[in-house]
Structure 1
Amino acid sequence: MNSDDLNFAYKVRHALNEHADHLPPSTCERLASARKAALARKKADMPAMIAERRLAGNLGSFFSLSMFGRMAVAVPLIALVTGLAGIYQYEEQKRIAELAELDAAVLSDELPLTAYLDTGFNAYLEQQKKRTQ
């Protein structure tokens, strides 16, 4: 029962209690028989059922769709970040390998001396310097 239902029940009970002395005897008999019938239909183990439902509700909220909804967002996001980090690492390793090859060629004097005089080679070296900074 929500709070509106409880408030209504309390108001009805209060009104009946205030005017119980002024009710005709036939109405009092009908109310008494209705009360007996309601008490006979009342389940004896109601508090145990409420406790079971409360426990089931707590377990249900643990495995609720909202948790799976959050995971449905988090897992692809983690995969995206991991993928982007992997691509970045791959590109960095590739760039480092190219620079290491160029440095090894320069240091081992495999390049002819005219390569150092070529303006295109100097432009290439400047471009590589800018990339590393």
Structure 2
Amino acid sequence: MKNFQTSATATTADMDLWGRTLAAQLDVASQDLGHDIGERLRVARQMALKTRPIPQRLLRHSLALQANGTLSGPPDEGLNLWRILASALPLLALVSSLMFIQAIQQDLAETDIASLDSALLLDELPPDAYTDPGFVQFLKIQLHQNARHD
């Protein structure tokens, strides 16, 4: 038996022609077989036709019921303007929310520094207090306690 080699340039029409030729040759060769062998061949052909893959061009334009009960239409080919905008929207939301968080954190840091500076300027402190590493922490604790009492 000869093997049919497909090339990259073989078209669907060529494949259909080859399939019809092969089917005709099989039909001619099966005429000399007995009835029981012919029936087994017929059943085998029917099973092969049931399991053959459906061409993509037929699937492209049909609706299909998925396993979860949803109805899916034909896939949209290419990107249109709305798809591009819809895919850019989550990125835009992420960037804007990160910028908003950055602004809030910067505002909180500036407020914290301003309250420490005002506490330092309003209190009478010895010069050694400014060089003490724990003094800033002490001022933060004092500011929080004063805020609770007010």
Instruction: Tell me the TM-score range normalised by the shorter chain.
Output: 0.3 to 0.5
Report the structure, 1 or 2, having the larger helix content: 1
Q: What TM-score do the two structures reach when normalised by structure 1?
A: 0.37
